[in-house]
Chain A
Amino acid sequence: MSSVAFQRIIRSGFNNFKRNSWLTVATITVMFLALFVLQGLLIFSVVTRSVIDSLQDKIDISVYFKKGVPEEEILIVQEKLETLEEVRTVEYISENEALARFKTRHSDNPILLESLAELDQNPLQASLNIKARVPEEFASIASFLDQGEYSNSIEKINYFQNKDVIDRLTRIIGSVERGWIILSIVLSAISVMVAFSAIRLAIYTSREEIGIMRLVGGTPSYVRGPYLVEGALFGLVAAIMTILVFYPVSLFIGPKISSVIPEINLSSYYLTNIFQIGGLLIIVGVGLGMLSSLIAIRRYLKV
Chain B
Amino acid sequence: MEPHIAFEDISKIYSNHVTTVAVEGVNFQIMPGEFISLVGRSGAGKSTLLKLLIAEERPTQGRVFFEGRDIATLDGSQEISSLRRKIGTVFQDFKLLSNKTVFENVAFAMEVAGKNDEEIAEDVPQVLELVGLSDKINNFPHELSGGEKQRVSIARALVHRPGVLVADEPTGNLDPANTFEIIRLLLKINEIGTTVVLATHNKEVINTLDRRVVSLDKGRLVKDDPRGTFIL
Please give the residue numbers on chain A whose beta carbons come within 8 Å of chain B beta carbons, in ascending order. Answer: 2, 4-5, 8, 15-16, 19-20, 208-209, 212-220, 222, 301, 303
Cα–Cα, bound, A215→B81 (Å): 8
CB distance from A23 to the nearest CB of B (A): 10
Q: Is B31 an interface residue (CB 8 A)?
A: no
Other-chain contact of B77, A15, A19, A219 (Cβ < 8 Å): A219
Please give the residue numbers on chain B whose beta carbons come within 8 Å of chain A beta carbons, in ascending order. Answer: 54, 56, 77-78, 81-82, 84-85, 89, 95-100, 108-109, 111-114, 116-117, 156
Asked if A209 and B97 sit within 8 Å, CB to CB, the answer is yes
In the complex, what residues of B have CB within 8 A of residue A4's CB? Answer: 116-117
Cα–Cα, bound, A16→B156 (Å): 20
Which of A19, A209, A217, A219 has the most chain B CB within a 10 Å cutoff? Answer: A217
Asked if B108 and A213 sit within 8 Å, CB to CB, the answer is yes
CB distance from B73 to the nearest CB of A (A): 18
Question: What are 30 A-B pairs at a CB distance below 8 A?
Answer: A2-B114, A4-B116, A16-B99, A20-B99, A208-B95, A209-B98, A209-B99, A213-B97, A215-B56, A215-B84, A215-B89, A215-B95, A216-B84, A216-B108, A216-B109, A216-B112, A216-B156, A217-B81, A217-B82, A217-B84, A217-B85, A217-B113, A218-B108, A218-B112, A219-B77, A219-B78, A219-B81, A220-B81, A222-B111, A303-B56
Cα–Cα, bound, A213→B100 (Å): 12
CB-nearest residue of chain A to B85 = A217
Q: A5-B111, A216-B109, A222-B112 are in contact. List 10 more A-B contacts (CB 8 A).
A: A4-B117, A19-B99, A212-B95, A216-B84, A217-B84, A217-B85, A217-B109, A217-B112, A217-B113, A222-B111
CB distance from B103 to the nearest CB of A (A): 12
In the complex, what residues of A have CB within 8 A of residue B96's CB? Answer: 212
Cα–Cα, bound, A219→B76 (Å): 10
